[in-house]
Structure 1
Amino acid sequence: MLEERTPCSMCCCTPLNKILMVVFMILLLFAILFGNSLTLAVVLGTKHFHTPQGYLKASLAVADLSVGVFVVPLSVYAEISLMLTDTAPGWTVRNSQHTPFHPCTVIGPVFAGCTLVSITTVFLLTIERSIAVLKPLHKDAVITRRRTSMLIVCSWTGSFFLALSPLIFSKQIALEYNACSRMCNYALGAKEFPRQAWHILLLFPVFDFTLLVGTVVINIVSFTTIRHHSKKRRRLAQAGCQSTSGPSFSDIKAAKTIGALTLVFTASFTPVAVFVVGNVSGNEWCSFSFVAFWILAASSCWNVIIYSVRDQKFRLRARQLLVFSKIKNSP
């Protein structure tokens, strides 16, 4: 393995810091579970959201919910173990030798796969909205439920294949519970490693940045078109005419919602991509790794916040479900 890391390698070893760490993880866990469960209840339980865009939002919520179900609880368990025993779990899984089953065998690929699914889904949401904005008359013919469902299946299959590729194609890459990031991460089996392992680890940031740059470019094109149509509508309104061409107000509002989602996810994924590149270059960046990975984990609860702020129909339906649940559970 790389230089051995101690549980106290990032200045979080005082009792107060340990407690704050556990509290933060537990609060984030409940936020992810509650937010994404609410999103799925609204999207799946409301006919208005049974659209290609709704399917993509449901896929994103499932990926984020999986982070809350599988990834964060393990970190909470490990952090509590560290508080009680002052020793971080020694979970390490190597391809080069037979090792017993450890939680990181599952949790590491799940976290990587769900992260890639989230990036891919945001990209697909941006494509879907750009078609609605750029080609409003053709959107129903181009964007269908069947095509969207096939794209969702492909995004999950491709993302998890990419997430497992370090373990499939290289014996120099291991999964370990990292005392710096407090998560199960891919690690290098030695300080000197072949170029193949280097290339495999860089697949993640290359994939992330490629999709994120593409997403940003498509959003810029969409917002430029929206601005052009908005100016045209204002000119026609001043002349006493009404424009019948261009995207609808609901499509414009939805595009702005996806734009806000893109901004948040780009800000969340970038630190991890930077960390992976630095780690492959030989930099440990212990404190930065904790910040980067937990910013990424926190992005799993941002979608419901953005929908609630930007989408009035989502907000009203979510409020109805919460009020109904409160009345049903009241004595």
Structure 2
Amino acid sequence: CTFCCCSIVNRTLVVAFMVMLTFAIVIGNMVTLLVFLKTRQFRTPQGYLKVSLALADIIVGILVVPFSIYTEITLMVNTTPPPIWFQGSSSFYPDLQGPGVPWQPCNVIGPVFAGCTFVSISTIFLMTVERSVAILKPLHKETVVTRRRTLGLIVISWVSSFLLATAPLIFSNVFRLEYNECSRMCNYALASPETPPPAWNIMLLFPAFDFTLLGGTVVVNILSFSSIRRYSQKRKFLAETDIFASSQRPTFSDIKAAKTIGVLTFAFTASFTPIAVFVLGNVVGYRWCNFSFFAFWILTSNSCCNVVIYSLRDQRFRKGIQQLLLRTPQTSLEKS
């Protein structure tokens, strides 16, 4: 039995970690939502995208992590028989082997976690595109990036992400969802041990989608930062009173936001890469217990990173938190 599986001490430590992570995710993202919803200055296309990102993270903190906590505590208190959604429970529940498989919570929790992950990366991609328009085409920013278009793209992002999350169940009948004893989460699994390994190939849709958007995000970031660099060099040769030059250049807030999104992209890429490696390993036949635990929970921990990044990178966000905690007048924030 490995680190991620059996002993009471290890289970207790893991549950304690999950509880702390739940509080960090929920409280951090609730603060983010309140700041963006209560501060008029943040009611912009970029603000709507950040709210979408916070909603995806908070769903993970409210549904996914608490379900893992509940399952772990259930296993600590009563190990036989295991819950119906636990890995290998079919030997205790013969009905699971028939065509009429009863409903169990992992049928919701698994796609929710995958869908929220896809929403996060697609939202980061949209945030990157929105900032690139502000930097590359500052004169067209207000006409190209509108609130209505942004809200429409957010809806498309959520719908397409959850459709992709359920694709293995929709387009194949060889998968089911179960609570994995290694990852400590609801994962896709083959419904029958006799299923040939190539059936896992459909799972490549997940890393393919994420790395495609991450690659696009990196390319757009490179274009934006190249433009910022050219602007910085050009500024040395342009007079500050040159009206044409001033109207063509991106604002300081746009540049700052682009750099913040770059940090978000790096953080998400670093947290997603282990899970992508794990999925690829599953496809080719590897089974990594300890690695799967760290891969899934590093990705989950990313859900509490955004508020930290905003706090470190965005002075207006810090003032928004101060306003929220001290109940200072909103006008003081807007003037600053």
The two structures have a TM-score, normalised by structure 1, of 0.90
> Size of the alignment, in residue pairs?
317
| 1:89 equivalent in alignment to 2:83 | yes
Equivalent residue of 1:232, what SS? Answer: helix
1:254 paired residue among 235, 250, 257: 257
Partner of 2:293: 290
Mapped partners of 1:150, 1:85: distance in 2: 47
Letter in 1 for 2:66: P
Give the superposition deviation at 1:290: 0.4
Matched, 1:279 2:282: yes
- Paired residue type of 1:312: Q
* In 2, Cα distance between equivalents of 1:277 and 1:190: 20
The DSSP-based 3-state class of the residue aligned with 1:176 is strand
Distance 1:97 1:128 in 2: 48
Distance 2:149 2:197 in 1: 38
Cα pair distance change 1:284/1:143, threshold 3 Å:
same
Judged with a 3 Å threshold, the aligned counterparts in structure 2 of structure 1 residues 127 and 322 are, in CA distance, closer, same or farther, namely same
Identity of aligned residues (%): 61
Q: Relative to structure 2, which stretch is displaced further, 239-248 or 78-87?
A: 239-248
Matched, 1:313 2:329: no
The verdict on how the C-alpha distance between 1:182 and 1:251 changes in structure 2, with shifts beyond 3 A counting, is same
SS in 2 for 1:185: strand
CA distance in 2, matches of 1:60, 1:249: 23
- Matched position secondary structure for 1:251: helix
Of the three residues 255, 270, 273, the one matched with 1:267 is 270
Gaps of 5+ in 2: 91-95, 329-336
Equivalent residue of 1:175, what SS?
strand
Kept in 1, the 8 Å contact 2:4–2:181? The answer is no
1:64 matched residue in structure 2: 57
Following the alignment from structure 1 to structure 2, what is the Cα–Cα distance between the partners of residues 11 and 37? 30
Q: In structure 1, what is the Cα distance between the partners aligned to 2:160 and 2:199?
A: 20
Superposed CA deviations along residues 120-173 of structure 1, whole A, max 9, x for unmatched, are 000100110111111111111100000001000000010011111111111111
Q: CA RMSD in A?
A: 2.2
Equivalent residue letter for 2:83? P
- 2:215 counterpart residue number: 213
Does the 8 Å contact 1:95/1:171 carry over to 2? Answer: no
Distance, in Å, in 1 between the alignment partners of 2:113 and 2:46 is 24
Within a 5 Å distance, the mapping from 1:137-216 to structure 2 comes to: 137-191=139-193, 193=195, 197-216=199-218
Q: Provide the C-alpha distance between the structure 2 equivalents of 1:18 and 1:293, rounded to a whole number of angstroms.
A: 16
CA contact (8 A) 1:170 1:196 kept: no
User: Gapped runs of 5+ residues in structure 1?
Assistant: 1-7, 326-331
